[in-house]
Amino acid sequence: MKKELLNYTQNRELSWLEFNKRVLEEAQDITVPLLERMKFVAIFTSNLDEFFMIRVGSLFDMAHTEAQTVDKRSGMTAIEQLKKIYAAVAPLYKERDKTYADIKRQLNPYGVCGLDFKELDSQDKKYVKKYFKEQVLPVLSPQIVDANHPFPHLLNKEIYVTANLSDKNHKGKVRMGIVPVPQFISDILYLPGEDVRYIRMEKVIMEYLDIVFEQYEVADPNYICVTRNADIAPDDEALEVTDDFRILMKNTLHKRRKMAVVRLEVAEKLSDEMEDFFCEKFQIKPVQIFRTNMPMKLSYIFTISGNLPEPLKKALTYPPFTPQPSAAVEEGSIMRQVRKKDVLLFYPYESMQPFLKLIKEASVDPNVLTIKITIYRLASKARLVEYLCAAAENGKEVTVLIELRARFDEQNNIDWSERLEEAGCRVIYGFENYKVHSKICLITYRNRGDIQYITQVGTGNYNEKTATMYTDLSLMTGDYSIGKDAALFFNNMATGNLDGHYNRLIVSPTSLKQNVLRLMDEEIEKGDKGRIIMKMNSITDVDFIKKVSEASCAGVKVDLLVRGICCILPGVPGYTDNVRVISVVGRFLEHPRIFSFGTGKEQKIYIGSADMMTRNTQKRVEVACPILDDNIKKIINHDLKIMLSDNIKARILQNDGTYRKRELVEPYIDSQAVFMEEMIEASKMAKEKPKKKIGLLSMIKNIFH
C-alpha cells in the first residue's frame, strides 16, 4: 500500500513551492493594479522567508538527526528533499527578480520610483549625504573582522552591509568590514519632491562606506541577509524549569535568534574566496546561497500606498472595499437574534462587527454568567480583548485559552495574556504536546431559570485586522446541543482532557479525522451517487489521502478546494480519476475550512478550524461544527458553487503536480469579486427594505441571476 500511495501523492514542500509560484503569478497578472502586484511580490518574498525558517529549518534538523527517515508521500529522505527544494527555489529567485524589475519600471511613470544611487541627481545626492551624516552615521555599529574582532552573530532576516577593507598604511592586508542596517531606522529614505521617490537604506550605507571606514580603502561592497532555522518546539524544552509557560516561551523566542543558518542571500556576486568564507562561517553549502537583484525586505511596499495622493492611489491599488454590514443581522440586540436563528458571517465580505457586538453585549448583560473562548492569533489592537476584560470587570467569569505557540505571534499573545489576566480573566495555555488551534467561543446565560448557550465557531482567528483580508466563515448559534458540547469542550480543556466525547462537535485529536473519514465512507457506500466537496488550506494527512482515493475508485465525485499544499494528485488513472483539485489565489487570502458530504436533504456540512494535515488531525486541538440551519446550508452551497465555477483566479492541479489556468469562457467568474458584489447589494437591499425581512439567500439569488 505504501508503494501504491506514491503513485498519486507528492512531496509537501514541493507542493508548497508550487503554491507560492501561484502567488508570484498574481504579481505578473496585468489585470491586477501595479502597486497590488508589487504587494504580491512582497507576499511571495515573506512566504519564502517563512518557508526557509520553518520547513527548510525542520528538514535541516532531520538531515542531521533522522537522516534515514523517509517522507511517506514522496519516498525522499530529508537530504533528498533539501536538494529538490534548492533546485526548485533557484529559478523562482530569477522569476521574482524579473517580475519585480518589470513592475518597478511600470511604476516609474506614475512617480513611484525606487532609485539606485547612480539615478540620483546632484541635489538628491546632497540631501542623501546630509541625511546619512546627521541621522544614520551616528547610530551605526560598524566593525572589522580580524583576529581581535571575531565575526559577529548575524540576526535572522536583518540586512548587513559588507566590504573588503585594505589598510591604507599597510598595503596588501585585507579584512572584512561589516555594518548592520539598524532595525530602528526606516527601511527606505524618501526623497524631496511631489513624487514618491525613495532609496533603500542599505544602498545609502553601502554608498558611504568610505566615510564609515575612513581609514581603509573600500572594495567589493555588498549587502547580505541570513535566514535562520526558526522551527523551535517549546515542548521539547525542559518544562520542569518553571511552572509559568509564558517564561518558557520568552526563553524559546530568545533561542530562535541563535539557530543555525539555512540560507544566505547576497546582493552582488561573491568571489570564490568570499563564498568559501561565508560557507565556513555559517556552516552552509554554496547551494544555500542565493543572489537577488531586488530588495531582501519589501514590507515598506505596504506603507507606500498610504503615502500616495488619492488619484494615484486609485490608479495603482484595488478599489477600496469595506466589509459590509451583514444583511442577516438586524438592528438591536444580537444576542436576541442569535437565540431565534443561526447567523453566518462571511469575512471579509461581511463585517466582524456582529460577533464583536455579541461579546460586548454579553459583557454587560446581567443574565450572562460566563464567556469562554480559545484564542490563537489577535490583532495588535483588539476590541475583543477590551470587551473580554470589561466582562471580567463586570463580574462575569471569563476564561481565555490562549495559545502562546502561535508561530511568529508568540510575543503578541504573551502580551495579551498578561493584559487579560490583569483584568481578572482566567487565562490557560492548553496542552504540553498539542497546540490549541480551535476557534470557538461560548456564552452561558440564564433565561427564566434555565441555563442556555450561544456558541460561535469559526474557520479563522479572532483577528480584527485579518478579518478584512482573509476569507473566513463565522457561525453564531443558540442551538442547545451545540452549546452543551461547547461547555463540555471548555471543561475538558481546563482539566487537561483530550479524550472528550461530543454529540455535535467533532474535535481533534480524538474525533475530527475519524468522523470525516466515517462521513466519507457514507458517500463511498453510495458509489457514483456519492458527493464530497471540501475546502481547506492544505492536505497532507495520509489516511485522508487514502480515503479520497478510495472514494474516487468507488465512483464518488470529489472536489477539493485547496489554496496551498496538496499532497494528493488528481486524475491519476486507477487512483484519483474522479478527484478535482482547485486552488484560488486572489485579492483576499482564502482561509475557510468547509466539509460537505452528500446532496439534498441528506447533505451534511461542517465548518471548522482544521486542515486535513497530520499536525491538525493528530497534534492539535481543532473544532468543527455542523451546519443545522437549512437556509445557511443553501448559502454555503451557493458559495461553494461560485468557488468551483471560478475561471479567472482558479488554477487546476494536474496529475504531474503543476497547476494550469482554466479555459476562460463565459460566464467569466472571479469568485471573490462575485462575493463582494453580492454582499454590497444584499446590504444595500437590507437597508432599503428593513421591514420586509428579505432573506439573505433570496437577495443573493436575485443579485447573482
Amino acid at 89: V
pLDDT level of residue 205 (50, 70, 90 thresholds): very high
CB atoms under 10 Å from CB of 419, counted, come to 15
> What value does the mean pLDDT take over residues 378-388?
93
Query: Alpha carbon of 251 to those of 231, 247, 248, 261, 505: distances in Å?
Result: 14, 6, 5, 19, 36
**How far is the C-alpha of 423 from the C-alpha of 416, rounded, in Å?**
11
| Percent of residues, the chain, with pLDDT higher than 70 | 93
> What value does the mean pLDDT take over residues 172-191?
92
Burial class (CB in 10 A: 0-12, 13-18, 19+), 394: middle
Per the CB < 8 A criterion, the answer to whether 503 and 485 are in contact is yes
Residues across the chain: 705
Cell numbers given for 542 = 495520509
Query: Alpha carbon of 145 to those of 142, 149, 164, 190, 666: distances in Å?
Result: 10, 5, 10, 32, 64
**How far is the C-alpha of 157 from the C-alpha of 564, rounded, in Å?**
24
pLDDT level of residue 560 (50, 70, 90 thresholds): very high
Query: Alpha carbon of 91 to those of 17, 32, 96, 665: distances in Å?
Result: 11, 23, 9, 32
The whole-number pLDDT of residue 305 equals 83
Cell numbers given for 57 = 529549518
Backbone torsions φ then ψ of 404, nearest 5 degrees: -75, -10
**How far is the C-alpha of 20 from the C-alpha of 33, rounded, in Å?**
19
- Rounded-to-10 torsion of CA 591, 633, 596, 533: -70
pLDDT level of residue 2 (50, 70, 90 thresholds): low
**List 170, 437, 591, 705, catalytic entry:** 437
Q: Strand 450-458 to strand 440-447: parallel, antiparallel, or no bridges (unpaired)?
A: antiparallel
Instruction: List Cβ neighbours of 311 (8 Å cut-off, separation of 6 or more).
Output: none
- Rounded-to-10 torsion of CA 448, 451, 457, 461: 90
Backbone torsions φ then ψ of 255, nearest 5 degrees: -65, -35
The whole-number pLDDT of residue 404 equals 83
The whole-number pLDDT of residue 696 equals 54
DSSP sequence for 66-84? -TT-B-TTT--BHHHHHHH
Cell numbers given for 625 = 461544527
Residue 485 DSSP class: H
pLDDT in tens, 604-662: 999 999 999 999 999 999 999 999 999 999 999 999 999 999 999 999 999 999 999 99
**How far is the C-alpha of 222 from the C-alpha of 278, rounded, in Å?**
13
Alpha carbon of residue 212 to chain centroid? 40
The whole-number pLDDT of residue 147 equals 86
The whole-number pLDDT of residue 237 equals 34
**According to DSSP H, which parts of 184-290 are helical?**
201-207, 209-212, 245-256, 272-282
Instruction: List Cβ neighbours of 250 (8 Å cut-off, separation of 6 or more).
Output: 414
- Rounded-to-10 torsion of CA 187, 191, 192, 197: -110
**How far is the C-alpha of 537 from the C-alpha of 16, rounded, in Å?**
11
Residue 704 has pLDDT above 70, yes or no: no
As a whole number, the mean pLDDT across the chain is: 92
> What value does the mean pLDDT take over residues 475-482?
98
The whole-number pLDDT of residue 699 equals 52
pLDDT in tens, 21-34: 999 999 999 999 99
**According to DSSP H, which parts of 132-221 are helical?**
201-207, 209-212
The answer for 103, left when phi > 0, alpha when psi is -120 to 50, beta otherwise, is alpha
Instruction: Look at residues 179, 177, 182, 178 and name the one whose alpha carbon lies nearest to residue 139.
Output: 182
Which strands sit side by side in the sheet containing 174-180, from one edge to the other? 143-145, 174-180, 159-167, 216-228, 261-266, 289-291
Cell numbers given for 431 = 496542552
Dmax over Cα atoms in the chain, in whole Å? 92
The whole-number pLDDT of residue 433 equals 86
Residue 406 has pLDDT above 50, yes or no: yes
Three state DSSP letters for 630-666: HHHHHHHHHHHHHHHHCCCCEEEECCCCCEEECCCCC
Active-site residue 437, yes or no? yes
pLDDT in tens, 10-22: 999 999 999 999 9
Cell numbers given for 158 = 536583518
Residue 149 has pLDDT above 90, yes or no: yes
**According to DSSP H, which parts of 52-136 are helical?**
57-65, 78-107, 122-131
Residue 133 DSSP class: I
Per the CB < 8 A criterion, the answer to whether 49 and 157 are in contact is yes
**217 versus 252: which is more confidently predicted?**
217
DSSP sequence for 602-635? G-EEEEES--BSHHHHHSEEEEEEE---HHHHHH
Which residue has cell 470587570? 393
pLDDT level of residue 698 (50, 70, 90 thresholds): low
DSSP sequence for 530-556? -EEEEEES-B--HHHHHHHHHHHHTT-
Backbone torsions φ then ψ of 37, nearest 5 degrees: -65, -40
pLDDT in tens, 509-526: 999 999 999 999 999 999
Cell numbers given for 402 = 490562549
pLDDT in tens, 261-306: 999 999 999 999 999 999 999 999 999 999 999 999 999 999 998 8
> What value does the mean pLDDT take over residues 84-97?
97
pLDDT in tens, 671-695: 999 999 999 999 998 888 654 544 5
Residue 172 has pLDDT above 70, yes or no: no
DSSP sequence for 316-365? HSPPP--PBPPTT--SS-HHHHHHHS-EEEEETTB-SHHHHHHHHHHHH-
Residue 536 has pLDDT above 80, yes or no: yes
Which residue has cell 439534498? 600
For the chain, the distance separating the N- and C-terminal CA atoms, rounded to the nearest angstrom, is 48
Backbone torsions φ then ψ of 423, nearest 5 degrees: -80, -5
